[in-house]
């Protein structure tokens, strides 16, 4: 009788390279990369788009917060920061600090946000070109929207918000929100 001894050695998986862009403003190159303690990937893990059920996570790395997103952050000024109409072009924005919609008073039309394709064409009910909706993403780290006034929002995905209350959207008492053909995805309570 022969005794055969088989030794199994754990072979470490190849490590991902560091992301090529670390401030979240441009996508990193490749199919996956390390973003601090997070791994960014463009594979089918993460969020679902509205038309073809493509799963995306994104290659926009913000290493300071170990965060991967499918879109860059919004500009420091100019998006939903005053009363009026705002277009959110695909892919949308990674919201690193909640967007607060203030109360502009009685008679105000408030803030209107409408989704658009990457070419800037407003998405409407026909959506004949099956454009994916742009995203406002909390990156699984923060609340996306806080409504203190009036908000009308159309053709936008509100995703990956995290907060003890109102992860995707928190609406104060007696405020008005009109939501038209939006998607709320993967928003969750933080512990």
Provide the 8-state DSSP code for 126. T
Residue 26 confidence (pLDDT) = 94
Residues of the chain by 3-state class (helix, strand, coil), percent to 5 = 0, 35, 65
Which range, of 30-39, 79-88, 143-152, averages the lowest pLDDT? 30-39
Q: Of 127 and 187, which is predicted with more confidence? A: 187
| pTM for the whole structure | 0.81
Question: How far apart are alpha carbons 48 and 130 in whole angstroms?
Answer: 14
pLDDT in tens, 26-42: 999 988 899 998 888 88
Q: Could you tell me the sign of the dihedral formed by the alpha carbons of 12, 17, 23, 29, in that order? A: negative
What is the rounded CA–CA span in Å between residue 178 and residue 111? 10
CA distance 56 to 46: 5
pLDDT of residue 128: 56
For the chain, the structural domain boundaries read: 72-185
Q: What is the DSSP string of 80-103?
A: SSSSEEEEEETTEEE-SS-EEE--
- CA-nearest of 145, 156, 146, 151 to 176 is 151
Residue 92, pLDDT above cutoff 60: yes
- Average pLDDT of the residues in 88-96: 93
* DSSP H or E stretch at residue 62: strand 60-62
Query: Could you tell me the pLDDT band of residue 2, with boundaries at 50, 70 and 90?
Result: low
pLDDT, tens digit, for every residue of 40-77? 888 654 444 433 333 347 899 999 999 999 999 999 88
Sequence-separated (6 or more) residues with CB below 8 Å from residue 57: 40, 41, 42, 43, 45, 46, 47, 68, 70
CA-nearest of 38, 49, 48, 53 to 141 is 38
pLDDT: which is higher, 125 or 2: 125
């Amino acid at each position: 009788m022969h005794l055969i001894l088989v030794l199994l050695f754990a072979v470490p998986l190849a490590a991902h390279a560091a992301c090529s862009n670390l401030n979240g403003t441009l996508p990193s190159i490749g199919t996956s990369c390390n973003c601090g303690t997070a791994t960014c990937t463009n594979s089918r893990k993460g969020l679902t788009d509205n038309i073809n059920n493509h799963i995306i996570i994104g290659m926009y790395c913000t290493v300071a917060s170990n965060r991967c997103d499918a879109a860059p952050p919004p500009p420091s000024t100019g998006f939903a920061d005053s009363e009026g109409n705002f277009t959110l072009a695909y892919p949308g924005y990674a919201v690193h600090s909640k967007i607060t919609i203030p109360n502009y008073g009685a008679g105000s039309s408030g803030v209107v946000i409408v989704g658009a394709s990457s070419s800037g064409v407003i998405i409407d009910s026909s959506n004949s070109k099956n454009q994916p909706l742009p995203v406002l993403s909390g990156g699984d780290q923060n609340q996306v929207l806080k409504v203190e006034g009036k908000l009308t929002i159309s053709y936008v995905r509100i995703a990956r918000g995290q907060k003890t209350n109102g992860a995707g959207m928190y609406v104060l008492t007696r405020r008005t929100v009109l939501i038209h053909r939006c998607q709320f995805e993967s928003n969750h309570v933080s512990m």
